[in-house]
Amino acid sequence: MVFDLRTSAEAVMRSLQQLAEAWLDAHLRGREALLRGDDVDAQIAGVVPLLTTREPWRASALADARLFVRTFVPFGSGLHVVARPTDAYEAFEPWSRAVHPFEYVLRHSATMDAPRFEETSMRIDRIAEEGGEWRVVSIFDAAGRARAEMEAQLLDRARAARDGR
């Protein structure tokens, strides 16, 4: 979808929702591959098509993708994602339209019969419209990267303890 002033806000939100859904799916699949012990290329395979094609941002996003699949993702019954509405678009050279940060919510419950859902706020540092699609330019800001590194270290320790290392 190419975005211009004639593109409706609803159409833009639908495309943002599609990105959020694809991003969650890629995260879950990457996490499964990690826990199976697949190599890193298999872990990030779902993330790669969602990343920008423009360098040097792509190289940085690929490096962060390796960390991203090692971060916690909430799970439970009825897991679904909802993009937070935004009209805060900005230019970010070389893109004419970007969102910083892109926020979405994961809704889930611990059991099928739970009376309410838990919500977890999630974010991608920056996305931009590229070739008619939203692409991830930057996965983490500095604080998010530090949290992700800490989560990855905890995961590594837990896996080493489980494996008796």
pLDDT in tens, 73-86: 776 667 788 898 88
Say if residues 136 and 61 touch (Cβ distance below 8 Å).
Answer: yes
- Give the H or E element holding residue 82: strand 77-83
User: What region, left, alpha or beta, does residue 26 occupy, with left being phi > 0 and alpha being psi -120 to 50 degrees?
Assistant: alpha
CA–CA gap between residue 143 and residue 56 (Å, rounded): 21
Which of 30-34, 62-66, 82-86, 111-115 is predicted least confidently? 111-115
pLDDT at residue 4 tops 60? no
pLDDT value of residue 2: 47
For residues 142-152, give the mean pLDDT: 93
Helix (H, G, I), strand (E, B) or coil at 60: helix
pLDDT at residue 12 tops 70? yes
pLDDT level of residue 112 (50, 70, 90 thresholds): low
Helix (H, G, I), strand (E, B) or coil at 104: strand
CA–CA gap between residue 8 and residue 56 (Å, rounded): 31
Backbone torsions φ then ψ of 28, nearest 5 degrees: -65, -45
pTM of the model: 0.84
Which of 31-35, 41-45, 58-62, 65-69 is predicted least confidently? 31-35
Nearest Cα residue to 23 out of 50, 59, 61, 57: 50
